[in-house]
Amino acid sequence: MSKGRLLIVDDNKSILSALELLLQDDFEEVKAITGPNQLPSLIENGGYDLVLLDMNFSAGVNTGNEGLYWLSRIQELRPDMEVVLFTAYGDVELAVKALKKGASDFILKPWDNDKLRTTLQNVYKLQQSKKEIKLLKRRESALKSEINKEKHFIIAQSPQMLKILNLVRRVARTDANVLITGDNGTGKELVARELHRHSKRADEIMVNVDMGAISETLFESELFGHKKGSFTDAREDRTGKIENASGGTLFLDEIGNLPVHLQPKLLAALQNRTVTPIGSNKPVPVDIRLVCATNQNLEEMVADGTFREDLLYRINTIHIEIPPLRERKEDIKAIAEYFLQIYCNKYRKSCQQISESGLSKLMTYQWPGNIRELQHTIEKAVILSDKNELSPDDFFFKPVMHGTGDIFEGTIEDMERKMIARVLQKSSSNLSAAAEQLGITRQTLYNKMKKYNL
């Protein structure tokens, strides 16, 4: 921390000389003036950090009103300037009044050298701390703004989605817990962000936690945080995702993938609105708006014993079901044209539209991967096409198997995708059972589901 620059104002030249000598090693610069009339120009142009200000300057005047006046002028010119008052014993009551008006501290005449130095140094440190806090707040505000910046808009023309958006905007104004369900790729995260954007917490961050991607061993550390030394790799304190979201929105994506033996720990945190970091016995209060999402049928999972009923009730105050893209074909054209403009700009292509026959092909396809598959289809078409208008031949869809006896014409990845999709369907999307049947780990299965938009 730099030493800072001190400006002293007192009409007694001997006092000024003594203070300059005393404080020259404590500050980067010490400037002494005998009257306050130079204050405005010095404060605005001199870059001083604090002022040691006498309260009386005119001969025979001991009211202290001059000091109060110049205190207010300093505050007008430099609100962040720290002012320490220099006063005689008889002016203590007046100095206390000045403290209420914004002075940082006061020093009595005659002064104690050590006390004077300590007071001025502490006031300077306080000013630097205030500046750091102000800078951190600006950075935090900028970071929140960047984090909350929408990557994509919800594009809706179908009656189903317009009804959902209307519900979202009404629910957003409350702190009710919301469960968003729907197939993969239908836009559940976008709906969650829309809830946050229209909420009273919009200026805070939305923390996104992919429950399927958190390993069981790191679950507590990721969500609740940990203290340094609480386990082998805990080299420093870490704040958990739930505490990070305090004041804003906590979005638990793929909530259905949370193993049943870990669900009580999450339920306790949501019920108590506190988290206890690993290695600590002190609960930390949190203030969150909870939004969850899943592509699984949680009620069936409750019946199967793979999802706790009390946790379902906790997260399901409001339920929003997102229909698959094939059930809201009115949205296909608008979404396709939206992604067309994004990828034409990204890849600097001249394509500006989709032909009527091209749109017809998009409209008749069933879109098993929903919006995410449509997005990838448009991106691929833009990359491969050199035409100004995209036609049916520019759109490639994954081949569909019609029966187990049919010859599969596709890549190994296509075959793997179909196999995983079939096993997931047979296991009612129970990831543990599907992974066991496929002979892979649960995490590997989850990664492949992400890869293939399942």
Residue 222: closest CA among 137, 176, 231, 194: 231
454 residues of the chain, pLDDT tens digit each: 457 889 999 888 899 999 999 998 889 889 999 888 888 888 877 678 899 988 877 655 566 678 888 888 888 888 888 899 887 765 677 777 888 888 888 888 888 899 999 999 999 988 888 888 877 776 666 566 555 555 557 888 999 999 999 999 999 999 999 999 999 999 999 999 999 999 999 988 899 999 988 888 888 888 999 888 888 777 888 889 999 999 999 999 999 999 999 999 999 999 999 999 999 888 999 999 999 999 999 999 999 899 999 999 999 999 999 999 999 999 999 999 999 999 999 998 887 799 999 999 999 999 999 999 999 999 999 998 888 899 999 998 865 544 444 445 556 777 788 888 888 877 777 888 788 778 788 778 888 888 888 8
The domains of the chain, with CATH numbers, are 5-139 (3.40.50.2300), 159-323 (3.40.50.300), 326-394 (1.10.8.60), 412-452 (1.10.10.60)
The set of residues, in sequence order, having a beta carbon less than 8 Å from that of 239 and lying 6+ positions away, is 225, 277
My answer on whether omega of the bond before 324 falls inside 30° of 0, hence cis, is: no
State how far the Cα of 18 lies from the Cα of 34, in Å rounded to an integer. Answer: 13
Q: DSSP letters along 360-388, please? A: HHHHHS--TTHHHHHHHHHHHHHHH--SS
Nearest Cα neighbor of 191 from 311, 341, 319, 287 is 319
3-state secondary structure of 424: helix
SS3 state of residue 257 = helix
CA distance 155 to 414: 29
Give me the pLDDT at residue 351, please.
74
